Amino acid sequence: MAASGLYIPTPLLSYEAVVAKITKMEGELADKRQRRRRVELFIRMLAGEHQPLVYDGGLFTAYVDRVIVRGTKGNAELEYILRDGTSHTVKVSQLRG
């Protein structure tokens, strides 16, 4: 039977454990920032604002669910449907430069 309102103190973490936890969290945060930057660059590349230096197939398949091609040979567009549900449309003429 649990006693309500009874405070049971938990042991304090040692200094080393706190430092280790903070270091781990800083590493995870840096990793998230790097992933976010890669996604933002990828989205700008899809919009035609940034040309990729190196094609990364793993990045493409990780974020793109499907690509829909519309139009004719001279007037086509690509719609990229990302895994989060958003879509970005790029005209083929933008890709040619």
Angle at 55 between CA 91 and CA 45, to 5 degrees: 35
3-state secondary structure of 30: helix
**What is the CA angle 60-27-51, rounded to 5?**
30
Domain map of the chain by residue range? Answer: 15-96
Q: Going residue by residue through the chain, which has 97 residues, state the pLDDT in tens, using 9 for 90 and above.
A: 455 667 666 677 788 888 889 999 999 999 999 888 888 887 777 777 656 567 777 878 888 899 998 888 778 888 888 888 888 888 876 555 4
